[in-house]
Structure 1
């Protein structure tokens, strides 16, 4: 973009900066959400909740399926990049 375009868009710089920050926060949140180590930790905590009687088998199965789906997505390599297939 040329100098004139930059000057004309200068009033929108805070909006563009905010959008960049939001994208960065979203990417980091997705990276953490789909991190295999985080998912494995959550699976271990889920198993502890089952063993302590905090949740029943049905709830355990439902939550475990969700975590395993996240793990599968993370293993595909698209997690945290904003590229969903």
Structure 2
């Protein structure tokens, strides 16, 4: 009987599940260090090629390094067994 009463809520649970999956995927993408590391490598190439000077390099490097620190702190805070979802 309880299962029949729960049927009207099934679409809402499905939407909540999808929204949870989308939020998790967005979170994983936001905390992916790859793009930040690529930006740092590109920045280093620009400096080596003489496209930017040391001052501009440092100005542009600082926010990227802060972002990497934020990502690492997030990853350290979320270490644990995978939940299997």
TM-score range, shorter chain: 0.5 to 0.7
What's 2:82 paired with?
none
Counterpart Cα distance in 2 of 1:18 and 1:64: 36
Tell me the residue number matched to 2:3: 6
In the alignment, structure 1 segments of 5+ residues that lack a partner are: 80-85
Structure 2 unaligned regions, length at least 5: 80-85
**Which residue is 1:83 aligned to?**
none
- After TM superposition, the runs of 4+ consecutive aligned structure 1 residues lying more than 3 A away are 42-45, 50-53, 56-59
After superposition, the CA RMSD in angstroms is: 3.0
TM-score (norm 2): 0.57
Which sits farther off after the overlay, 59-68 or 25-34? 59-68
Q: TM-score, normalised by structure 1?
A: 0.57
| Higher RCO (CA < 8 A, seq sep 6+) | 1
Structure 1 residues 69 and 23, CA, compared in 2 at 3 Å: closer, same or farther? same
